[in-house]
Structure 1
Amino acid sequence: MKPHVIMHMVTSIDGRIVTTHWPKDFAIGALYEDIHQQLKGDAWLVGPVSMAEFAVGEAKPVVSNETFARETWKAPHAHSGPYAIALDRHGKLHLNIDRANGDPLVLVVPESVSDNYLAELRRDGISYLFAGASELHLPTAMNKLAQEFGIGRLLLEGGGGMNGAFLDAGLIDEITLLMMPFADGTRGAPALFERNEGTPVVLNLESVVQLERGVLHLRYKVT
């Protein structure tokens, strides 16, 4: 069992996803958040780079003599969602908070992370689960999020590499895309999907809605 995974992203017409240099008068953040709320996810998931933007203050590592079992730990306050989830393959996220955008944090880590790092997460009130020995196994992560946190509907809001990994694993059920009416064209800029060469994945277009100023909201089902 896994959640219904909806990839929710914003792009230029040429598929670029870094928004920092895009025109500021399009209120991209507000548009994106409005659709995010309409999708009514039980959780949203990003990578370590995006989640690090929520960190408060300097890193405060913990030195612990305790050895923790490699099993899911749920923070006392994290009884219900929506949850803010991050994948952290190396155990390097130092957040010093227990919520992101008001939502309880859950980190997905491999069993190889240190006990000191797990002690830090517990100190900060951050729930965690394990998905893989030294590398993250996405299907395991999805199954545990559904079974142990009750997540039935998950919004994937990652970078191109993460989106590509979810696509290759067959984990994306639906794509909702805000396409902005401008071309980026920046050489080497991150794209919506970044994956090794393979067979293109066919999508079924479900709807197209034109928003203000020529912004398109596209919805696809993944076949």
Structure 2
Amino acid sequence: MFIDSDIKEFVEALSSKEPVPGGGGAAALAGALGNALVSMVGNLTVGKEKYKDVEPEVIEILKKAKELQEKLLSLIDEDAQVFSKVAAAYKMPKNTEEEKAKKQEALNQALKDACKVPVEIMEYSLEAIKLQRRLAEIGSNLAISDVGVGALLLKAAVLSGKLNVYINLNSITDKEFVEETKERIEKISEDAEKLADEAYQIILQKLKIEK
């Protein structure tokens, strides 16, 4: 269970030659970190007189962020679990035509399952980006840079998840599944980049940084 590791342990495991944790787990962690900053900014906004008019909305944002945090953290370990199924499928024998067919069927299913986790990382990170996009407008100005850091981490999580989907799609022979999944993740990444970039530009303007 990597989510129970401390930071040093996880980074050392990530840097080893072991296949897990890998890019998928790192993407999920990036999403969790970006989402945690949603909660941080929300908590710094609630209870301040200056932001009392938006407090009910920020409280709702905090509730959504808490739900997303649990999901993103769980995907760190889920990514490792689905990879083990892919590795097992690759090790299946292929000496006869029957064995080749069984191996391809098992591999297709394992790779489809392996696509599910990074797609979910993308989806949950996009939902968190939507929260950061709103906080860029209504969150405490004392923590506005943290909104930007969160948005950038979440954008990285989405694009990293996309890479992890594609590397699995390239070995799947089910063309309908491949095309449907590609369409889905391209839409997610397009929306995520747009919203994260909007949040970043709002923050630059608030900080009066030259674009």
Relative to the length of structure 2, the TM-score reads 0.24
Relative to the length of structure 1, the TM-score reads 0.23
Question: Which structure carries more helix by proportion?
Answer: 2
- Computing the radius of gyration from Cα coordinates, the structure with the larger value is 2
Question: Which structure carries more strand by proportion?
Answer: 1
